[in-house]
Amino acid sequence: MAEPKLDPTIPPGLHLVSAFISMEPTNTLLSLSRECGGGLVTEGVQRFIWDHCISNEAGEKGYGPYLRNFVKRLISEVESRNGTVLDELYERCGYYMSSLKDDRLVKGSARVHKCISFLFPDVFLGCEPPSCSKSSNLVVPLHCSLNMLEGDTGCSVWPSSLYLSEFVLSFPDIFSNKSCFEVGSGVGLVGICLSHVKASQVILSDGDLSTLSNMKLNLKLNQLSAETDVLERFGEDPNTVQAELYNKSKVKCFHLPWESATESELEDYLPDIILGADVIYDPSCLPHLLRVLVILLKQKKAYTQTWEESCEGRLQDAEHIDVNGASEGKSLFAHDIHCVTIQNGNRTDPCHVEELHGGSSVARLMKCPVAYIASVIRNIDTFNCFLKLAEEANLVIADITEALVPLNLLPYMQSYNRSSIRLFTVKCK
């Protein structure tokens, strides 16, 4: 009986190819290979791996030691089950063994190219996949480090950045048309996803200059240009620069060591949303991180909203607004803003209605930023230190992990443990 033909565009073939280009551990690749063959790495599965992983562009550009180890383990797997190994795999294994004598897979700060594939389900929250994506998949190429534990942490892909990226792509309406600021952006994966969901501006920052340089390279790999690159290209006319920046990239990345960040340096950004992935790790850094968050969260953006927009069909029992008796009995509800009462011009909430114009038809509102922080809690004492410092800074931390669960867009990543990650919002009191 002929084997069913594997398709690289649908599972399980899609999962195997996605795991290969993202450089998942060899055990994951073998597990997915067995799944493709109904429990065995059949000749058909080997042919699929050869055609869609090893012999194509991904294989030619792949990291040699990784490819060598995978092919060796694949051959061993087939031979252990008394199967027939493709001649091509034997030949390629021989080539790797003779040309790659030094195993640098986990030594030093080796940098490689890998691709993270976000696989959207056929039905995306009851609708089509996000309009930002040309297909049901979003493939993000990244230049990154293989070794996240030996001095190259900023250039590694950490679990919380994967989770926060899934969150951004799962809830695009939260971030669409919003100005987003990420602290400790690392390889830039979250920022790239923010750009795909059409954030109005993406501001990425990191305190390490080599990490920042690598981040800019990743933006270019994803057809996004950092603002500095745009400025160099269109340096003559500032108007042209700004127009091109807005239309092409909407991304700015800059050097931001938390310990030396100043209020004047940050006050020009006025982000709607602040993001951070795995930034709660070092107790000595936490006071500086909290200071940066306080500066960004205390800034408020004013925007105008018509009375009719804010009232129509929303909370009939909303609190009354009375400004010198001009609008008694009128109710106001604004998206993402607490209803407030103003009596004789006195404000009662930090996110407040500032003024009314044109016969109470237009409201001037102050919009409070919010931070989304994803983190693996590796040390409970460090996390408790973060909570204590946040309380002292008049910040409110809320765990929303169970309330807003992102889609599993990385089903092929067996090395990625989503259950270990918590997602928090941070707001000013």
Are residues 95 and 211 both part of a single domain?
no
What is the value of pTM for the model shown? 0.79
Domain assignment of residue 81, yes or no: yes
Domain assignment of residue 410, yes or no: yes
Domain assignment of residue 27, yes or no: yes
Q: What is the pLDDT of residue 155?
A: 85
Task: Provide the residue type at 74 as one letter.
Answer: L
Domain assignment of residue 346, yes or no: yes
Are residues 354 and 341 both part of a single domain?
yes
Are residues 265 and 182 both part of a single domain?
yes
Domain assignment of residue 6, yes or no: no
Indicate which CATH number applies to the domain containing 290.
Answer: 3.40.50.150
Are residues 75 and 169 both part of a single domain?
no
Q: What is the mean pLDDT of each run of 10 residues along the chain (429 residues)?
A: 83 96 96 96 96 87 88 97 96 88 53 93 53 66 76 81 98 96 96 96 94 94 69 37 44 93 88 96 94 90 49 37 35 32 36 41 64 96 96 96 96 94 96
Handedness of CA 337, 338, 339, 342 (dihedral sign): negative
Cβ-count burial of 322 within 10 angstroms (0-12 exposed, 13-18 middle, 19+ buried)?
Answer: middle
Count the domains in the chain.
3
**Three-state helix/strand/coil letters over 295-347:** HHHHCCEEEEEEHHHHHCCCCCCCCEEECCCCCCCEECCECCECCCCCECCEC
Are residues 135 and 231 both part of a single domain?
yes
Are residues 227 and 310 both part of a single domain?
no
Q: What is the pLDDT of residue 209?
A: 93
Are residues 288 and 315 both part of a single domain?
no
Domain assignment of residue 323, yes or no: yes
| Cα-trace Rg, the chain | 25
Tell me the residue range of the domain where 309 lies: 301-367
Domain assignment of residue 260, yes or no: yes
Pick the last residue of a domain from 69, 99, 129.
99
Domain assignment of residue 36, yes or no: yes
Are residues 164 and 306 both part of a single domain?
no
